[in-house]
Amino acid sequence: MLKKFRLKVFKKPLSLALFIILVFSSAFFRFYRLGPLTTFLDDQGRDVLKAAQILKEGDVPFIGPMASIGNLYLGPIYYWAITPFLWFWHFNPVGPVILVALLGLVTNLALFLFVLNCFDLISAFLVSFLYALSPLVLQNSRFSWNPNPVPFFSLLWFWLLIEFLKKGKGKYFFGAGIALGILIQLHYVTGILFVFTLAIYLYWLISSKKSFSRVDKVRPFLFLVAGIVLPLIPFILFEIKNCFINTRAAGDFIFGSNANRGVDTSVFETFWILTSSLTNELFTKFHFLVYYLLVVLLSPLLFLKKALPKQKWVIIFLPLIFLAAIFSCLLIIKGQIHLHYLGFLNSLVFLSIAAFTYFLRKQRLWLLAVFNILILVLLLVKMAVFDYQWIVKADNNQQIKRSQMVADYVAQKSKSKDIYLTSLTGSPYAYNYRYFLYIKGFATDSLKPSSVFAICEGAPCNPEGHPLWEIAQFGVLKTASGEHVGYGAWVYELVKN
């Protein structure tokens, strides 16, 4: 594969120039103005606070953040992964964002290599530039959050499965298992990929023309299990210690009656809405693209007879995984499905476009091929303009700076380092502000605080007598001071009479 890469890219000046432009544009839109524009809210503050506790206290967690569905907790791998980056950037929250942006860039390059290896150079460049500029992909590459690395590991998982089907070696299944063990700790919806992995293993057993012994048939499955278990060891130890609390909660969510019900629309209508939202966010607001995507997913199946074996596996499994994954989400979750739940499908959408682009030219359907390329070029232009507006020309949100300014203000006003900090307009935990106070040595959740600090974002407010438990638990409080600190944050100091 690498030899083919050198021959097709590095030995052709035009290809080399395009590859350099691809890397530059992908990196530029992921790293430019990360600090002033990145999201730093409650989830991000919680994550860097856990990473800081690892560094300062040696408090290594074996459990991760709460998932957005099912009252479940994820594994700790994201906390562990961002910790070195937080340390290297001297506890600046931009450090973990650098990790996410790097993974986004690596995913883009891996997509290029996969398409080049499986199809051809033209398809590789087209879809890689699309991925480099996709608004949804870029947005998820520019802030720190546990679901954001999912596209990299889902692409790695898919690539390793294709390699396994080609060569039948257990090491590829082991690698796919590691990817799955990481994915399930980033978001529980990726557990759907476990079913697909088992289905592909059964497909390999049935379709293989070689005669295998029982040991040879079972060995890949054992490699798969070992790969899955390896990154999950801390989480498994937590489950054993706590009587499998998350495992039972997952079972209750999937099979129990307490799943989120009450959806009025049909499954097919919701599928159409969700697919439309996904395509619009991936490729800007271009509404006919939902039709285009379904054509892209399904039409390469018409070219199966003339496809190479590795291409057949890709064009068969891509639409099956895409469609089955979305319908599985609709049937299991039963409530609102946010687009970050489907992050594991993002890279697969671009692989589908690559297959479609390749086979139109391969079958000499020149009119359709030219029309397809014109659509993709138009999309590239629209996305480049959109990205320029919201990354290069956009005003700074300064969420990191705002959190730091509030923390500095609270540190100056407080009479001791035992305080209580809450927010009245966002998450009451206010982890983004608590993080910087923790770095300064403050205890921000003291039950006997010298002062209670309440933060309001966007507009001033009156915290006295507020029904929020974080305020009400301390009884009658009076406002000692209140001030607009900056960037739309008002801070109030409350004390007992």
- The domain limits of the chain are 28-392, 399-496
Neighbours of 240 (CB within 10 A): 9
CB 351 within 8 A of CB 127: yes
Helices (H), 58-93: 77-88
Across all residues in the chain, what is the average pLDDT? 89
Task: Report the DSSP beta bridge partners of residue 495.
Answer: 478
What integer pLDDT is reported at residue 30 of this predicted model?
97
CB 435 within 8 A of CB 461: no
- Residues 342/326, Cβ–Cβ less than 8 Å: yes
> What pLDDT is recorded for position 433?
97
Neighbour order of strands in the sheet with 477-486: 420-423, 452-457, 489-496, 477-486
Residue 56: per-residue pLDDT: 95
169-184 as b/e, with b when 16 or more CB fall inside 10 Å? ebebbbbbbbbbbbbb
Question: What pLDDT was estimated at residue 273?
Answer: 81
281-295, 311-325, 411-425: which has the highest mean pLDDT? 411-425
CA dihedral 44, 47, 50, 54 (to 10 degrees): -110
Q: What confidence score (pLDDT) does residue 258 get?
A: 45
pLDDT at 277 (0 to 100): 84
| Position 2 confidence tier, pLDDT thresholds 50, 70, 90 | low
| pLDDT at residue 459 is higher than 70 | yes
Residue 336 has pLDDT above 80, yes or no: no
How confident is the model over 238-265, as a mean pLDDT?
Answer: 71
Q: What is the per-residue pLDDT across 289-304, written as a single tens digit (0 to 9) for each? A: 666 777 777 787 788 8
